[in-house]
């Protein structure tokens, strides 16, 4: 509860600072200090210190899973702001408002990671989505950004409509919005209303996490949105919606697991296949990363498929590994003017440190040992094997991980083995050091994943 | 009236909304169709709420079961209003740049 209230207050503070403070660097420092505060109060709450005690009638419950995820989300946002906050100012003149929107999105992230009632799930998803529509269209003169915003908005509200219909049908069948009550009666023979509602919820959530066949909006929106905000959208937001997805299907429909497992397996395989194969053919690194985010979503779907202890641990690790690596790559990409693979030619000669850290991020995304990406993929596959069914899914996942190596290594190859004059970039010292910290975190998690996972069981 | 009538009416409205979203090309009309979908859900929630309430009252006259369904409707209304604000702003922004609200324009992103 600490983080939820403070994050909402910080959002309001940032909103006011947009016209009270003219100096951008003050606003930036305020936002970073605010995120540090969020991180501290969240860690305090993990250790049992609660400042606010509000009776939510058990609609929001902060368990270890939620608190750990929130910590990861705040840490990623903090690193994201340290790396890219300056670039945000280049998108438009409303710098402080963008930061305010990001704090509001974090409120939504906190809600969806800790909901126990479908009402909170719906509110959380909307609190995440509505500011995101604005951020997507924040580059107002750019037609691509406009298109992306309209597309995201129309498809996003459409899927919200489906989700609400699902919630209404479930309410009709069970008479309650609480996940506990839904799962209780669902144990017996589920009614047609409940099944229809569950399917609608499943489709709308797959839409939000961009699982194939509902992924078609992702590349266009990620490509059209200003790159700074794509970075945020593809990492923290996507991870949060995934946590909500898992929580919903674990708590509300856990007893029907065997009935929907095959459906999830098919969608997972499709997502892995489409995401990875299409990413191979991309010419722009930004678009490749959009498809790679679909592919990574496929891996995260494995935890939904397996739904056991390994899956939950694995998801935490995956979320951390994926967010850190993607934020790092985007931070470097934002500094470039040319987003094609050729733009990376000769990058290692001009910016050796940046190239080295980018290589670590890419290796982690591809799942090479000694990085966090490897262990998180390992956990996912272990969880999927643990179910003892649908072995083909694990085989597809491994094959597709091999395919993903191709397009990640294309960037590394361009950086190190191709000649090029490089692009002019202004890179500050703190930026470089933050990137190094990020890379170090990824390697640290790849060797000692228990630093993170032990927080799950205290 | 039996609950089935309400379910069928809501599903019909919802289906009209979906068909509208999928077939119309004008952003404003698509937007109205999405609102229709949301309102179909509101109707359904209120009907279910009444149904659960009547069921609970038959057993215990002081029961307040079913009120949460109607509460949900208020939340949907608030969120829908927020969405309208942002959505219309996006459509106006688009109109200022291309002087049209036709969504066929969206296919340009695919190169």
pLDDT tens-digit map of B12-39: 999 999 999 999 989 999 999 999 999 9
pLDDT-derived band at A110, boundaries 50, 70, 90: very high
Q: Which residues of B touch A141 (CB under 8 A)?
A: 97
Residue partners of A302: CB distance under 8 A and separation at least 6: A268, A311, A314, A380, A381, A383, A384, A393, A397
Let me know the angle formed at the C-alpha of A194 by A193 and A196, rounded to the nearest 5 degrees: 65
Token pair, residue A317, equals 């690790």
- DSSP run (H or E) holding A260: helix A257-280
Range of the domain at B94: 3-110
| pLDDT number for residue A454 | 84
Q: Which residues on chain A place their C-beta less than 8 Å from a C-beta of chain B?
A: 119, 122-123, 126, 130, 133-134, 137, 140-141, 143-144, 146-151, 153-154, 157-158, 160-161, 164-165, 167-169, 171-172, 175-177, 220, 223-224
| Angle separating helix axes A64-91 and A24-46, nearest 10 degrees | 170
Report the candidate in A400, A148, A442 with the shortest Cα–Cα distance to residue A274: A400
Query: How many structural domains is chain B composed of?
Result: 1
pLDDT tops 90 at residue A288: yes
A148 alpha carbon, distance to own chain's centre: 19
For B4-14, write each residue's pLDDT tens digit.
999 999 999 99
| pLDDT number for residue A457 | 74
CB A284 within 8 A of CB A223: yes
Per the model's pLDDT, the better-predicted residue between A202 and B103 turns out to be: A202
Which of B21, B72, B110 is nearest residue A177 as measured by Cβ atoms? B72
In A, minimum Cα distance to B43 occurs at A168
pLDDT-derived band at A349, boundaries 50, 70, 90: confident
Let me know the angle formed at the C-alpha of A365 by A362 and A367, rounded to the nearest 5 degrees: 110
Q: Which residues of A touch B74 (CB under 8 A)?
A: none
A175:B7 CB<8 A: no
Which of A134, A150, A171 is nearest residue B27 as measured by Cβ atoms? A150
pLDDT tops 80 at residue A422: no
A165:B37 CB<8 A: yes
Lowest-confidence pick of A164-168, A309-313, B45-49: A309-313
pLDDT tops 90 at residue A453: no
For A33-56, write each residue's pLDDT tens digit.
999 999 999 999 988 888 888 888
Per the model's pLDDT, the better-predicted residue between A439 and B62 turns out to be: A439
The pLDDT > 70 percentage for chain B reads 95
A177-190 mean pLDDT: 78
Q: How far is B17 from chain A (nearest CA, A)?
A: 9
The CATH number of the domain where B50 resides is what?
1.10.287.3510
Interchain CB contact of B29 with A (< 8 Å)? no
Report the candidate in A288, A146, A294 with the shortest Cα–Cα distance to residue A225: A146
pLDDT tops 80 at residue A386: yes
| pLDDT number for residue A188 | 66
Peptide linkage before A213 cis (omega within 30 of 0): yes
Report the candidate in A269, A251, A268, A249 with the shortest Cα–Cα distance to residue A259: A249
| pLDDT number for residue B109 | 56
| pLDDT number for residue A350 | 85
Per the model's pLDDT, the better-predicted residue between A391 and B109 turns out to be: A391
Structure-derived torsion over alpha carbons of residues A391, A396, A399, A402, reported in degrees to the nearest 10: -120
pLDDT tops 60 at residue A334: yes
CB atoms within 10 A of CB A277: 13
| pLDDT number for residue A357 | 94
Lowest-confidence pick of A83-87, A182-186, A301-305: A182-186
Q: How far is A383 from chain B (nearest CA, A)?
A: 36
Per the model's pLDDT, the better-predicted residue between B37 and A183 turns out to be: B37
| pLDDT number for residue A339 | 87
B87:A133 CB<8 A: yes
Q: Which residues of B touch A134 (CB under 8 A)?
A: 86, 89
Length of chain B: 111
Interchain CB contact of B76 with A (< 8 Å)? yes
| pLDDT number for residue A96 | 92
| pLDDT number for residue A51 | 87
pLDDT tops 70 at residue A186: no
Mean pLDDT of chain A: 91
Mean pLDDT of chain B: 90
Report the candidate in A60, A85, A102 with the shortest Cα–Cα distance to residue A237: A102
A390-to-A65, A120, A264, A395, A402 alpha-carbon distances in Å: 27, 34, 11, 9, 20
pLDDT tops 60 at residue A275: yes
pLDDT tops 90 at residue A426: no
pLDDT tops 90 at residue B60: no
Q: Which residues of B touch A172 (CB under 8 A)?
A: 3, 7, 44, 48, 51
CB atoms within 10 A of CB B108: 12
Interchain CB contact of B52 with A (< 8 Å)? yes
Name the H helices within B60-110. Answer: 67-98
CB A30 within 8 A of CB A18: no
**CA A417, CA A46: separation in Å to the nearest integer?**
47
């Amino acid at each position: 509860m600490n983080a939820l209230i403070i994050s909402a207050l910080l959002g309001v503070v940032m909103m006011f600072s947009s016209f009270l403070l003219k100096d951008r660097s003050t606003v930036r420092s305020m936002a970073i200090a605010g995120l540090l505060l969020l991180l501290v109060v969240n860690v305090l709450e993990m250790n049992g210190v609660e400042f606010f005690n509000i009776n939510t009638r058990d609609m929001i419950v902060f368990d270890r899973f939620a608190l750990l995820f929130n910590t990861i989300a705040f840490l990623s946002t903090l690193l994201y702001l340290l790396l890219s906050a300056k670039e945000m100012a280049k998108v438009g003149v409303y710098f402080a408002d963008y930061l305010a929107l990001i704090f509001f999105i974090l409120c939504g992230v906190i809600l969806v990671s800790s909901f126990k009632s479908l009402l909170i799930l719906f509110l959380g998803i909307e609190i995440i989505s509505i500011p995101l529509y604005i951020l997507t269209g924040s580059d107002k003169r750019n037609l691509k950004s406009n298109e992306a915003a309209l597309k995201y908005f129309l498809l996003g509200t459409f899927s919200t409509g489906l989700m609400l219909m699902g919630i209404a049908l479930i309410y009709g069948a069970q008479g309650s919005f609480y996940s506990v009550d839904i799962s209780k009666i669902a144990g017996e023979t589920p009614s047609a209303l409940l099944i229809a509602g569950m399917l609608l919820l499943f489709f709308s959530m797959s839409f939000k996490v961009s699982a194939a066949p509902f992924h078609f909006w992702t590349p266009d929106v990620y490509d059209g949105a200003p790159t700074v905000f794509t970075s945020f959208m593809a990492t923290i937001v996507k991870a949060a919606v995934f946590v909500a997805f898992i929580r919903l299907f674990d708590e509300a429909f856990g007893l029907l697991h065997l009935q929907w497992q095959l459906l999830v397996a098919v969608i997972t395989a499709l997502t892995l296949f489409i995401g990875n194969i299409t990413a191979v053919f991309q010419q722009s690194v930004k678009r490749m990363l959009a498809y790679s985010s679909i592919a990574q979503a496929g891996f995260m779907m494995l935890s939904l498929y397996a739904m056991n202890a390994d899956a939950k641990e694995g998801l935490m690790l995956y979320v951390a590994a994926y967010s850190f690596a993607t934020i790092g790559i985007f931070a470097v990409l934002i500094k470039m003017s040319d987003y094609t693979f050729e733009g990376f030619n000769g990058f290692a000669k001009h910016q050796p440190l940046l190239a080295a850290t980018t290589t670590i991020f890419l290796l982690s995304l591809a799942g090479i040992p000694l990085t966090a990406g490897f262990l998180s993929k390992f956990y996912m596959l272990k969880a999927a094997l643990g179910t003892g069914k649908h072995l083909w899914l694990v085989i597809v996942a491994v094959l597709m991980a091999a395919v993903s190596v191709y397009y990640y290594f294309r960037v590394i190859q361009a950086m190190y083995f191709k000649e090029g004059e490089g692009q002019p970039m202004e890179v500050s010292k703190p930026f470089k050091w933050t990137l190094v910290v990020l890379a170090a975190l990824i390697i640290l998690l790849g060797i000692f994943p228990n630093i993170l996972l032990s927080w799950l069981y205290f | 009236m039996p609950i089935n009538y309400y379910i069928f009416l809501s599903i019909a409205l919802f289906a009209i909304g979906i068909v509208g979203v999928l077939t119309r090309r004008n952003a404003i009309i698509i937007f109205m169709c999405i609102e229709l979908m949301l309102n179909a859900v509101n109707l359904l929630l209120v009907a279910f709420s009444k149904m659960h309430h009547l069921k609970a009252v038959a057993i215990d006259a002081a029961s307040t079961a079913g009120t949460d369904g109607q509460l949900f409707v208020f939340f949907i209304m608030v969120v829908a209003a927020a969405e309208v604000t942002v959505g219309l702003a996006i459509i106006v922004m688009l109109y200022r740049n291309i002087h049209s609200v036709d969504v066929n324009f969206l296919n340009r992103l695919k190169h």
